[in-house]
A and B are shown apart, each in its own frame.
Chain A
């Protein structure tokens, strides 16, 4: 019988001679899976890189904004008489690109006026550092605060600025 199915045919001009539909289907599935897997893995890596960059950018923005706030508080404390009260409260995002983060203030030298503000994800994967120096206040107290609302206040007992949670 001469038919149209695989293996059939009536001459050497057919290009599917000797190929069964099952083999073709298997090849297609395997190749498709390989392509799909490769693309997914590649896309995932790309997205992870981009996400990491976004986290870094956002932590940088948070750090810069916090340092700007500290500097403003420092300038506000620059009066002949020490301020009776001074507090600047800022709202920062609770998470950046899905990651929780915290802020650490570390003094470069004990009793000095230069400090470094570290903004880092809780898992420690990403961390940025911004240096800040105060002129009017007697320095910044070392502290660690979690994300969200952060307050910079003037502590009249020692003339220092304090970064704490609001």
Chain B
């Protein structure tokens, strides 16, 4: 009989002499090799595992965990409340004669915050976060009353009382010791390119330092509108606007001149409070709008409308209407990693 491993007698074939020498050696080497391989694999596994853990550690960084989501939520609430404030200031008009002339604005704001807060709360609740916005009840801290000072008909920027005179006074103090937001100008044309250019000056109340925006037409043909931002009489930066044959719009807080971004305006940085003054206003014609805060720390005003014009009120203009300059809301954000509660003072477009 022939077995698979043996000869006809069933015995295993005898190993050759070389095999008998190599057999035990091969076994020892295999054992040693296996041992080394095992140690190596264990070490490699350890290193790779910790390396993977490092990557996991680094990649587990999310905005929600770190708090970036709280910043985004706060920014979104600021934008929402700011938009609501802008819409509210457009929709409501002064009613005159009330003991609290701003009460309609305040009531409308109070009525509008809960639906807005509900939307914010629902939106963030889907991600497991609690975000809430509430309007404080205290009048003195919740609302900052203000006025919209404006010139809606195209006219000179000279002092109003002198415009009919032969030589109007080009220097006009529009706002005194206050803060301004949403300042917008529309310039139709410069009266004379050879006369000193029109300037909007922001004089800081505390230091007396002057920031200015100078707007003029380039005298060369075809000229463009030009804008310079100056500090203490020295030009900081400038930009060029559209052709002077067109009217040009200036949005100070948006840093836009003629609809385009003007980096020079980003460098305008007056420290509140400040006085806003037009100089050489008789050399340009156009319109302007700006929101000014009342700067009255002593609570709601007595009855009647301005001008109860005095230095503390800050308005030295002929056209104005009530508006809410700013509001304060309580903001709460809670997630698995972030606990944050603060009051947000919102006055969009503040210079």
Judge: A and B partners, yes or no. yes
A24, chain B: closest CB distance, angstroms: 7
Cβ of B24 and Cβ of A43 under 8 Å apart?
Answer: no
Interface string of B22-39 (1 = CB under 8 A from A): 001100110110011001
Residue numbers of B with Cβ under 8 A of A are 17, 21, 24-25, 28-29, 31-32, 35-36, 39-40, 43-44, 46-47, 50-51, 53-54, 57-58, 61, 65-68, 70-71, 74, 328, 337-345
Residue of B nearest to A166 (CB): B337
Chain B residues near A75 (CB, 8 Å)? Answer: 71
Cβ of A4 and Cβ of B70 under 8 Å apart?
Answer: no
Tell me the complex Cα distance, A14–B16, Å. 13
Tell me the complex Cα distance, A36–B68, Å. 53
A122 lies within 8 A of chain B by Cβ: no
A36, A86, A90, A96: the one contacting B340 at CB < 8 Å is: A86
B24, B36, B65: the one contacting A36 at CB < 8 Å is: B36
Known: A69-B66, A85-B339. A93 touches B53 (CB 8 A): yes
Tell me the complex Cα distance, A67–B44, Å. 31
Known: A32-B29, A62-B57. A79 touches B344 (CB 8 A): yes
Q: How many pairs, one residue from A and one from B, have CB atoms within 8 Å of each other in the complex? A: 115
What are some 28 contacts across the A-B interface (CB < 8 A)?
A16-B21, A25-B24, A32-B29, A36-B35, A39-B39, A43-B43, A47-B44, A47-B46, A47-B47, A51-B47, A54-B54, A57-B51, A58-B53, A65-B58, A65-B61, A68-B61, A76-B67, A79-B343, A80-B343, A80-B345, A82-B342, A83-B340, A85-B339, A88-B67, A89-B337, A90-B337, A93-B53, A93-B57
Closest 10 pairs (CB-CB, A-B):
A47-B43, A72-B67, A83-B342, A80-B345, A50-B47, A54-B50, A84-B341, A39-B36, A97-B50, A81-B343
Cβ of B46 and Cβ of A24 under 8 Å apart?
Answer: no
Cβ of A76 and Cβ of B54 under 8 Å apart?
Answer: no
A162, chain B: closest CB distance, angstroms: 14
A25, A36, A88: the one contacting B338 at CB < 8 Å is: A88
Known: A32-B29, A32-B32, A72-B67. A88 touches B54 (CB 8 A): no
A130 lies within 8 A of chain B by Cβ: no
Cβ of B338 and Cβ of A87 under 8 Å apart?
Answer: yes
Chain A residues near B65 (CB, 8 Å)? Answer: 90
Cβ of B66 and Cβ of A51 under 8 Å apart?
Answer: no
A28, A40, A61, A79: the one contacting B36 at CB < 8 Å is: A40
Cβ of B39 and Cβ of A51 under 8 Å apart?
Answer: no
Residue of A nearest to B69 (CB): A72
Residue of B nearest to A54 (CB): B50
Cβ of A72 and Cβ of B66 under 8 Å apart?
Answer: yes
Cβ of A54 and Cβ of B32 under 8 Å apart?
Answer: no
Tell me the complex Cα distance, A122–B65, Å. 26
Cβ of B345 and Cβ of A76 under 8 Å apart?
Answer: no
Chain B residues near A90 (CB, 8 Å)? Answer: 65-66, 337
Tell me the complex Cα distance, A54–B49, Å. 10
A130, chain B: closest CB distance, angstroms: 14
Chain A residues near B345 (CB, 8 Å)? Answer: 79-81
Tell me the complex Cα distance, A61–B338, Å. 20
Tell me the complex Cα distance, A81–B344, Å. 7
Residue among B46, B337, B343 with most chain A CB within 10 A: B337
Chain A residues near B341 (CB, 8 Å)? Answer: 83-86
Chain B residues near A82 (CB, 8 Å)? Answer: 342
Cβ of A76 and Cβ of B70 under 8 Å apart?
Answer: yes
Chain A residues near B46 (CB, 8 Å)? Answer: 47, 51
Tell me the complex Cα distance, A96–B49, Å. 11
Known: A25-B24, A62-B57. A69 touches B67 (CB 8 A): yes
B31, B43, B337, B342: the one contacting A88 at CB < 8 Å is: B337
Chain A residues near B67 (CB, 8 Å)? Answer: 69, 72-73, 76, 88
Tell me the complex Cα distance, A86–B339, Å. 6
Tell me the complex Cα distance, A65–B47, Å. 22
Chain B residues near A35 (CB, 8 Å)? Answer: 32
